[in-house]
Amino acid sequence: MVNAISPSGYEHCAAAVWKAYAKPFADRVETDVHGNSHALINKGGKVKVMLAGHYDEIGFLISHIDDKGFLWITPIGGWDPQIAQGQRVDIIGNGGKIIRGAVGKIAIHLQEAEQRKKVSEIKDLWVDIGVKDKTEAEKLVSIGDPLVIQYGFEELQNGRAVGRAFDDRAGAFAILEAGRLLAKMNTQCEVHVVATVQEEIGLRGARTAAFGIEPDVGIAVDVTFATDHPNIGTVINQEGKVDLGGGPVITRGPNINPRLFDLMIETAKAEKIPVQIVAEARGTGTDANAIQLNRAGVATALISIPLRYMHSPCELLSLDDLEAVSKLLAAVVAKITPKTNFIPF
């Protein structure tokens, strides 16, 4: 799923992988008109629980094809522009065929002194797919075709992995794995496991999915900044101390229902799952924010996976953290009954 080319609004490749994994254990698997994929577990349970993780990623769209066949691009989501230059890309071209290309810019030898001091903006970069002219390019690609940096999944040392789009394919996988575990457990909840779309451009999929499901409880899974690498400086004072391999990160603050937070901490202790806690004084900027504000309000929580190098092609996480998130999610949901009180005070 990490290798699927699925930027916001074009999630169909990731959706195909996600749904294929869900079908053997879910009561029902479907995709809504917005593109959210939805696996239902224990249909008819007395408490509706929504688990959400977004499977869109940052990427680009082709905005213009010039007369020489060079492709000009516009970003989807939040990009650090210095990352894009000099990269290879994969484009979903005409008929769904994958077209390879390279991001071009003026070589440093040819730049003026002032140009060398500045990071090139994305609007000044182009994609070269090796064609001779616009006519040849248009046989392969079209305006609005999506593209991503050409990086895939690889395992490193000590159970760590690197790849593109762990933000938030990791979360979309974690909730689905939790659903698989819950399908074997005794739960009084009707569990709606939802891989959401378009989070990177405004939490859009979670908003529409939550409105349709109308859950009693919502738990979002996303990634968060690991603060254990060099040059983090004083950021740790605001973001908190988060270690890769230190376990799931549980957020506390206004976006989080306090009773649900307490249940998660109690469950983690009972299951001997190490967790880390961070504070967020506002809406979290994740699907948890959209879910909490659905209809008349939802008891909401956020579990995060520590991640290094976010919004780059080489995002890095611990597979142990990923597994622990799924186990914690399943254990928490298994404890929820119709008698569980989420009124905060």
- For residue 73, give every residue at least 6 positions away whose Cβ sits within 8 Å of its Cβ, in sequence order, or none: 60, 61, 62, 63, 122, 125, 126, 127, 147
Q: Provide the residue type at 104 as one letter.
A: G
203 φψ region: left (φ > 0), alpha (ψ -120 to 50), beta (else): left
Q: What residues form DSSP beta bridges with 189?
A: 47
Largest interatomic CA distance in the chain: 70
Four-residue CA torsion sign, 20, 22, 27, 30: negative
Number of Cβ within 10 Å of residue 160's Cβ equals: 17
- For residue 323, give every residue at least 6 positions away whose Cβ sits within 8 Å of its Cβ, in sequence order, or none: 177
The answer to whether 37 and 195 have CB atoms below 8 angstroms apart is yes
DSSP 162: E
DSSP 77: S
297 φψ region: left (φ > 0), alpha (ψ -120 to 50), beta (else): left
Known catalytic residues are 199
- For residue 191, give every residue at least 6 positions away whose Cβ sits within 8 Å of its Cβ, in sequence order, or none: 40, 41, 42, 45, 49, 51, 179, 182, 333
| Class of residue 286 by CB neighbours under 10 A (exposed 0-12, middle 13-18, buried 19+) | buried
User: What gap in Å lies between CA 219 and CA 286, rounded to an integer?
Assistant: 11
